[in-house]
Amino acid sequence: MARKRKSGTGTIRQRKDGRWEGRAVVGYDDKDLPKTKNVLAKTKHECQEKLTKLMETVGHTKSEKICADMPFGEWMDFWYQTYIKSGLRPATQNTYESTIYQHIIPQLGKIPLCQLSQKDLQQFYAHLKKEGRLVRTEQYGKGLSDRMVRMCHAKCRAALDQAVQENLIRTNPAVGCKLPPKRSREMQVLSRQELQRFLIQAKADGYFELFLLDLSTGLRRGELLALQWSDLDLDTGTLSVTKQVYEVNGKMQLSVPKTKASIRKLVLPPAVVEVFREYRKTAKSRWLFPSPIKEDEPIKPGSMLRRLHIILERAGCKQIRFHDLRHTFATMALENGMDIKTLSAMLGHVSAATTLDIYTHITSDMLSEAAAKIDRGLGNEVAEDSTEVNPLTDFQPVMRRTRKPGTGCITQINDHLFEGRYSPTWPDGTKHSKCVYAHTREECEEKLKVLIQQLNAERKAILDRLRGIPSPEKLTKKQRQIWEYMKIYPDETNYSVIARGAKVTRHTVAKHFEMIQKMLEKREKRCTIT
């Protein structure tokens, strides 16, 4: 009778052609079916060596440490690193790792896998609910939310399910555990009056285009912030949603949406297209909504959420989540007669059933309204309130104390005069301020826009020229300071001015001026020829 090989070491057999074949499980597919690889050799001993090397190379097969009495913490780590991590996005990896390594392993990690009981898990969930929070305890209390407890349970259950499949344990102790009830987050939408105040305040804060587009399309936050000008066709009014952006450890990441249904094309209302046609004239970045700090990056989702709460507070609206703007769009669409199928496609839902499930209360109201209309059509007049609330308000936005970066500033000098100032940072690190004046704020804004365009063009021209002039290597520290200043201001010949800009003495400038000027002329000619 042939001896059974140890679990996790693969299998070896002799083929009909006389050769030996070794086969090992190297992982599992999406349907939890094993993926295998094989090796061939002339002798059994050679086959064994090849199989061992294969398993060491792949690294996905169970080692000798993987056994029933191993600590549960080691199994959780093995399960996550082997079966789960590779298929997750960076943001989801962070969520998994914080749950596993900050909560599950510290509390349950030392218990042997085969001895882990339902009682241990229930006590663990009770601990999380009572005092599981590790940060912001003063703000939110010591206990974790019901949602976090359920997330910890889901990961424990999935890891233990895999242990059952690997024949390490007979049954999953997580099955049948009592959990906090699943509560869906309350949906909040802005009323018509709140919407109006919100958009007025957003315009005053410089975020009108962003929130207008979101309320016109119902885009998710990551989809909205990932938009580039190449995604928007102003001629046809179509918007292509093909990517999303998210933040991981302070860095922005770009990826495709989660589902195929999320990749979609939307047609914008003509009024919104006109707004963006005007907005395009002032755009400098490839992103529709660039970061105010770094123009070559989109706005960070976290900062956008903080900005939303500020605008809501200033507009006197209730505090809502960013996702509730999406709900507001969907509610308005349904109330104005859009069918579920079209709305589902616009929202990027996999099926219309998802949309119906989320907006059941709205569709119920629509059915009631439809019944009332039928009743009125049959001759049964329903008494209606004749008083109609006018959505138009005299709301005055709260003016920002600080303007959006890169837009300059406007000061009212007296009753008849406004001053606009723009102070960009030049390549040498100095501030270059220029002013414009006008009799009205609107006129001053227009003049300031022209000034900003001029100064930015000058700055860009200097940067383009600097990129084409490489710096020489054999220069002293003071010579290099003079070189950098003269490279930016080639027409400057006043020794005192150069000395102040380069932060050296006038005597030092006079000593090296001619030499550096000749070097610059030679390098400029060389760059021009090239």
Residue 286 domain-assigned (yes or no)? yes
Q: Are residues 239 and 221 both part of a single domain?
A: yes
Q: Are residues 157 and 36 both part of a single domain?
A: no
Q: Are residues 426 and 481 both part of a single domain?
A: no
Single out the residue in 278, 309, 332 at which a domain terminates: 332
Q: What share of the chain is helix, strand, coil (3-state, %, to 5)?
A: 50, 10, 35
Residue 49 domain-assigned (yes or no)? yes
Domain containing residue 207: CATH number: 1.10.443.10
Query: What is the pTM assigned to this prediction?
Result: 0.59
Residue 443 domain-assigned (yes or no)? yes
Residue 351 domain-assigned (yes or no)? no
Q: What is the CA radius of gyration of the chain?
A: 33
Burial of 473 (0-12, 13-18, 19+ CB in 10 A): exposed
Q: Are residues 229 and 321 both part of a single domain?
A: yes
pLDDT of residue 196: 92
pLDDT of residue 229: 93
Under 8 Å CB-to-CB from 310, ≥6 apart: which residues? 205
User: Tokens 């706005």 sit at which residue?
Assistant: 299
Q: Are residues 229 and 140 both part of a single domain?
A: no
The span from the CA of 269 to the CA of 250, in Å, is: 35
The span from the CA of 103 to the CA of 106, in Å, is: 6
Q: Are residues 219 and 326 both part of a single domain?
A: yes
Question: How many residues in the chain?
Answer: 530
pLDDT of residue 386: 38
Facing residues of 255 across strands? 244
Structure tokens at 96: 């998994």
Q: Are residues 150 and 268 both part of a single domain?
A: no
Q: Return per-residue pLDDT of the chain as tens, 530 residues.
A: 445 555 556 788 888 788 888 887 776 555 555 677 888 888 888 888 888 888 776 654 444 468 888 999 999 999 998 888 887 888 888 889 989 999 999 999 999 999 999 999 999 999 999 998 888 888 778 899 898 999 999 999 999 999 999 889 999 999 999 998 887 777 888 988 999 999 999 998 889 999 999 999 999 999 999 999 999 999 999 999 999 988 877 778 888 887 888 899 999 999 999 999 999 988 888 899 988 877 788 898 888 899 999 999 999 999 999 999 999 998 888 888 888 898 888 998 888 888 888 876 666 666 666 666 555 555 554 444 434 444 445 777 776 656 677 788 888 877 788 888 888 877 666 777 888 998 888 898 899 989 988 888 887 777 666 555 666 767 888 888 888 788 777 778 888 888 888 888 888 888 888 888 888 777 766 655 54
Residue 252 domain-assigned (yes or no)? yes
The span from the CA of 146 to the CA of 167, in Å, is: 32
Q: Are residues 24 and 89 both part of a single domain?
A: no
Distances (CA, A) of 103 to 73, 93, 99, 435: 11, 15, 5, 58
Say how many domains are in the chain.
5
Residue 391 domain-assigned (yes or no)? no
Number of H helices, E strands in the chain: 20, 11
Closest CA to 276 of 236, 218, 325: 236
Query: Cα-Cα-Cα-Cα dihedral of 425, 426, 431, 435, to 10°?
Result: -90
Domain containing residue 153: CATH number: 1.10.150
Q: Are residues 157 and 214 both part of a single domain?
A: no
Residue 515, Cβ neighbours under 10 Å: how many?
13
Q: Kindly provide the b/e burial profile for residues 405-421, where b requires at least 16 CB atoms within 10 angstroms of the residue's own CB.
A: eebbebeeeeeeebebe
Q: Name the amino acid, one letter, at 92.
A: T
Q: Are residues 203 and 326 both part of a single domain?
A: yes
Single out the residue in 332, 360, 391 at which a domain terminates: 332
User: Tokens 């959420």 sit at which residue?
Assistant: 305
Residue 225 domain-assigned (yes or no)? yes
Burial of 144 (0-12, 13-18, 19+ CB in 10 A): buried
If phi > 0 it is left, if psi is from -120 to 50 it is alpha, else beta; for residue 195 that is alpha
Q: Are residues 437 and 459 both part of a single domain?
A: yes
Q: Are residues 207 and 151 both part of a single domain?
A: no
What single string gives the DSSP state of each residue in 414-458? ETTEEEEEE-PBPTTS-B--EEEEESSHHHHHHHHHHHHHHHHHH
Residue 234 domain-assigned (yes or no)? yes
What is the extent of the structural domain holding 211? 192-332
The CA-CA-CA angle for residues 196, 199, 203, to 5°, reads 140
What single string gives the DSSP state of each residue in 385-400? ------------PPPP
Single out the residue in 292, 313, 332 at which a domain terminates: 332
Residue 80 DSSP symbol: I
The span from the CA of 444 to the CA of 420, in Å, is: 6
Q: Alpha helix (H) ranges present in 254-359?
A: 270-280, 301-314, 323-335, 340-347, 352-358
pLDDT of residue 225: 93
pLDDT of residue 289: 92
Asked whether 22 and 10 are in contact (CB, 8 A), the reply is yes
Asked whether 372 and 341 are in contact (CB, 8 A), the reply is no
pLDDT of residue 399: 67
Residue 321, Cβ neighbours under 10 Å: how many?
16
